[in-house]
Structure 1
Amino acid sequence: MISTKDITGLILAGGRAQRMGGIDKGLIPFHGKPLIESAIAKLKPQVQTIVINANRSITKYATYGYPVVMDETPDFSGPLAGFSVGLKACRTPYLLTSPCDSPLLPNNLAELLAVEMGRGDFQLVYASSKEADGKVWAQPVFCLMRSNLQDSLDQFLQKGDLKIDRWFKELRTSTVVFDDPLVFANVNTPDELKKLEEVSA
């Protein structure tokens, strides 16, 4: 049985946020507090410790008291670059990842992914969401992976591939479907932020 003590939480705050006009997304106010604070509050009870992946505003992120790790690859190369430095910083058997801009992420994310992980010989379990129309969408940046995947990921990145789903195909993976698509809603535009504040008021 995987316990909270076995899991490090990685918050991905390393993106460019082009659709937000390039401002640092984790620091945008949501209900009056920086978005990253929602992610920390949601993840903290689910994990042993937290690591933040950021490529700017390092001193601001460091004020939360957790290690801040920067991508080792240039040019904001996406979540896999964050996964890579997160795995390097991880001192527990498992790493749970979440972006900084999904403030309603499930309180039982770690628990449900861990249960699925224990059900088979999986290396990585990711979340999926079920929309109102019954369609199921993969949410690959919300995942629980074994912390020994560093070599596999580095070899994949050395090929110059940054597509998250292609790396997953090289692994033994499974998914857990969450019925409420809102829990993975992320904030890409000021309008989306306003709508999310309204539904989570």
Structure 2
Amino acid sequence: MEALRRAGMEPIVHGSVARGDVTPKSDVDVVVPILVPSFKVEVALEAAGLQVIQRVMVMATPAHVVKAHLYLDERTSVTFPLAEMTKLEREFYKFGGEIGLDEVKRGVRVPGVDKRLMFIQPTSKGHVEEPVKGRETEVAERLGVSVDIVAERVYVLTRRDAIGRTGVYLKRALAPGESFEEVLKRLRDEDPAIRRMLSSRASLV
């Protein structure tokens, strides 16, 4: 996160790291939540001596933003959008709990919702858990997000429990020498869904 800040970005970390309910299997997902050229992120990491072992482009559904994932190891990644995020896509991170670099340094923990749809409230001795279903409005108010993002996540995660993970619309690993922008341009020319998504948002392609 310090490497990204030195390059003029304000990254966040979200999920269990932000909430404090970490386990040995917890992923560390650092996010740059604004539109930024991919080379700027990659150069910032390289300048700090961090090696990217895999670069992957992901689009969850035909309606969602395309994101770039830079993996530093199996459990640590840096994510950033390749087109402008919608309000709900941005709120996704706050829904799960997010903090910035200064808060990480101070040991701040914030409330958020995990994949079991449990509201995690940090306490001085750990955390307490409360179910989200049936309390969507209250949860939205406590997190400072819209009821829409809470309802969307309840639907998605409940459906996942019922029928299992259904995969994502697009997942493409980049080869050495490829840039996210050039791959996205090619996909835009080939895929109507990606073309529609890009036509309705600001992007770098």
Under a length normalisation based on structure 2, what TM-score does the superposition of the two structures give?
0.28
Under a length normalisation based on structure 1, what TM-score does the superposition of the two structures give?
0.29
